[in-house]
Amino acid sequence: MSSLPTIATVIGSGTMGPGIAATLARAGATVRLYDISPDAIARAEAAYDVVRGVLESVDSPSAPGGSVSFGTDLDAALADTELIIEAVPEKLELKQKVFADLEARIGDDVIIATNTSGIPITTMAESMTVPARLIGMHWSNPPHLIPMIEVIPGEKTSSELVDQLIEIVKAFNYVPVLEKEIPGFVENRVLYAILRECMALLEEGIVTPEGLDACVKWGIGYKLSVVGPTRLLDMAGLDIYQAVSGYLNKDLDASTDTPQFIKDKIAAGQLGFKTNGGMYEYGDGDVDAKRKEIITGLIAARKTLASIPNV
Ligand SMILES: NC(=O)C1=CN([C@@H]2O[C@H](COP(=O)(O)OP(=O)(O)OC[C@H]3O[C@@H](n4cnc5c(N)ncnc54)[C@H](O)[C@@H]3O)[C@@H](O)[C@H]2O)C=CC1
Ligand SMILES: Cc1ncc(C=O)c(C(=O)O)c1O
């Protein structure tokens, strides 16, 4: 296989599948997007049209020959494929069942990359016939706009596959970040540390949701989008970090479970955009408007970040 696979298959066409498929297709791959649910495929076809429009407005070259086809026929989706990207729900048993089903239908040389948010690759590979072919390929949401992918080998992943996946990621102009295996990987460990503290601050009534969003967006997000946390410490001074972390770290939230108020919202059917209510409430048309605002903002920020030095 040259760097980019000629044919790739994405398994699972929910939130992540269409953007992943579109990104590979834009780089020139023939992509088959498969889902067990015909309704999910119908939604994915509509989502793909939107994603394609978004990619047109991002400054990245479009290679000729790429395409995405959609379907619920697994054998058709797998015919001659070189790379499978699994993006089914975050449940270990389901993913293991999907891998068993895939392995029964493909040759030993086909790569299986999993978009798990953080289940250890070694655990997922335990039930596989060829564990050397499984590797973590963690995209960030929305996958067609966040140009970074975490590459996570498990204990049995072949070292050739690690090099190969890094080249594949570079071939569609994304930044690969190679990591050692740890639950949650790097991005979600950092994100979930932030979210844990944020949810505790809300639960204790220290700040409103609007205030929290403004504080984190401008005070942390804006800054960290230009300067990473390591360089930020140099900018602030390691002595300051010592002085503050010395009294603050012991005061930070250390809970090990999901906050009760989040569990209550889920029990009441409040999941966020997908149910028109979650942390905020949304009236008719509000979710579509917010999605558009977020995408427009991400496109503008990405263009700006691409045009300034990488500090
Ligand atoms: N939503 C997010 O922000 C991110 C999610 N991820 C991870 O990506 C994976 C997928 O997440 P989402 O796209 O959000 O999930 P989702 O729930 O939106 O979509 C999953 C899709 O998989 C399909 N599916 C279920 N069982 C299947 C099977 N046996 N074969 C084929 N398709 C099947 C469902 O019909 C659904 O369309 C998860 O592991 C998640 O943790 C990773 C990065 C970000
Ligand atoms: C809340 C949350 N959880 C997991 C992920 C990715 O695995 C994301 C994301 O990519 O944005 C997220 O927001």
Over residues 49-65, the pLDDT tens digits come to: 999 999 988 866 678 88
- The residue type at 53: G
11 is written with which tokens?
């398994």
Residues of the chain falling short of pLDDT 50: none
Pairing of strands 67-71, 175-178: unpaired
Q: State the CB neighbour count (10 A cutoff) for residue 287.
A: 17
Sheet containing strand 175-178, strands side by side: 67-71, 30-34, 7-11, 83-86, 111-114, 134-139, 148-153, 175-178
| Chosen domain end from 183, 218, 246 | 183
Ligand 2 pocket list (CB less than 6 A): 117, 140-141, 188
Domain that holds residue 166: 7-183
Calculate how far, in angstroms, residue 116's C-alpha sits from the geometric centre of ligand 1: 9
- What would you report as the CA-atom Rg of the chain, rounded to the nearest whole angstrom? 21
Q: Residue written as tokens 């395409």?
A: 67
The three-state secondary structure class of 9 is strand
Q: How far apart are CA 18 and CA 117, in angstroms?
A: 17
218 and 165 share one domain: no
- Judgement on whether residues 175 and 191 belong to the same structural domain of the protein: no
Same domain, 71 and 163: yes
Q: ipTM above 0.90?
A: yes
Q: Do the Cβ atoms of 87 and 16 come closer than 8 Å?
A: yes
111, 11 Cβ separation under 8 angstroms: no
Q: Are residues 276 and 219 in the same domain?
A: yes
| Residue 174 CA: distances (Å) to CA of 8, 56, 60 | 17, 16, 10
CA 70 to chain centre: 21
33 Cβ below 6 A of ligand 1: no
> Measured in angstroms, how far is the CA atom of residue 240 from the centroid of ligand 2?
30
Calculate how far, in angstroms, residue 184's C-alpha sits from the geometric centre of ligand 2. Answer: 10
Task: Clarify whether residues 281 and 242 are in a common domain.
Answer: yes
248 and 169 together in one domain:
no
The domain that holds 65 is classified in CATH as 3.40.50.720
Q: How many domains does the chain have?
A: 2
One-letter amino acid of 155: E
CB 47 within 8 A of CB 144: no
d(CA 118, CA 250): 26
The backbone torsions φ and ψ at residue 131, rounded to the nearest 5 degrees and listed phi first, read: -65, -20
Q: Answer for the pair 182, 150: CB distance below 8 angstroms, yes or no.
A: no
Out of 141, 157, 183, a domain closes at 183
Task: State which ligand 1 atom lies nearest to the alpha carbon of 86.
Answer: 9
Cα angle 254, 258, 261 (rounded to 5 degrees) comes to 110
Both 32 and 167 in a single domain?
A: yes
Distance CA 194, CA 93 (A): 28
Q: Is 18 inside a domain boundary?
A: yes
Binding-site positions for NAD(+): 12-17, 35, 90, 95, 117, 141, 274
CATH of the domain at 301: 1.10.1040.10
236 in any annotated domain = yes
- CA dist., res. 4 & res. 31, Å (int): 11
* Same domain? 24 vs 100: yes
- Does residue 221 sit within a domain? yes
Whether residues 31 and 15 share a domain: the answer is yes
Q: Quick one: 120 and 198 in the same domain?
A: no
Domain co-membership, 82 together with 52: yes
Q: Which amino acid is at 129?
A: T
10 Å CB burial of residue 170 (0-12, 13-18, 19+) is middle
In the annotated binding site, the residues are 12-17, 35, 90, 95, 117, 141, 274
How far apart are the CA of 308 and the centre of ligand 1, in A?
A: 34
Could you say which of 183, 216, 249 is where a domain stops?
Answer: 183
Nearest protein CA to atom 23 of ligand 1, as residue: 12
